Amino acid sequence: MKLMFFSGIIMSLFILTACKGDAQLHEVKPAEFESLIHDTTVQLLDVRTAEEYQADHLAYSMQADWTRKDEFEKRTASLNKTKPVYLYCLSGGRSAAAAEWLNKKGFTTYNLQGGINAWKQEHKPIVQFEKVAPISLAEYVSRIPSDKTVLVDIGATWCPPCKKMNPQIDSLAAVHSNDFVLLKIDGGAQTELCAQLKATEFPTFIVYKGGKESWRKTGEMDIKDIAAQL
């Protein structure tokens, strides 16, 4: 009897723990998902590949490829755990796995049921990148004045750490506008230039002095570290 009693308690605790672990797993249909992501400050994550994202995506979404675990972990490290994260992929499988991983990290997640395929079937709005003129390496170099300190910020609108760093970079440039020149490069559009500059991770910050590169660092960082290099 005692064994059955304790077995019952253990089973109850197991079920309770399992339910608690699943409490943050929310599968949401397109109509409800649309109502949840109307705010431009929402943490909306497209976990497909960069190529898929560039073909079409949801407005205000950031991109982190779930199949590239190192990239995914780095990009999501800058997300705010006090705010929910909304995820989607092509049909819902990858984003569900990503949501489960984020839940274990302490995030509350909402997954788009059926992915962007279901979203399109209900004629919800999508965004496609407009083609932009490529910047050649020669043109890039011509934008680096030899008589001034230059901070190059290579990022992308869909990059979570870039989105977090952007206001800080803009504030630094506004306060010290006479001390250095800020040059922003859209790494999502200028893929060839990024390859030539070996800027494979976003954001990448490069400081030029006297027309020559003097410092480089990637990823989210303390703005004071950048200011110290300027």
Tokens in use for 19? Answer: 């339910």
Contact indicator for 49, 67 with CB cutoff of 8 Å: yes
Are the C-beta atoms of 87 and 47 separated by less than 8 Å? yes
User: Are 190 and 208 a contacting pair, CB within 8 Å?
Assistant: no
Instruction: Write out 10-45 in H/E/C secondary structure.
Output: HHHHHHHHHHHHHCCEEEECHHHHHHHCCCCCCEEE
19: annotated active-site residue: no
Can you tell me whether residue 134 is helix, strand or coil?
Answer: coil
Active-site annotation holds for 162? yes
Instruction: Report how far residue 85's alpha carbon sits from residue 151's, in angstroms, rounded to the nearest whole number.
Output: 31
Active site residues: 159, 162
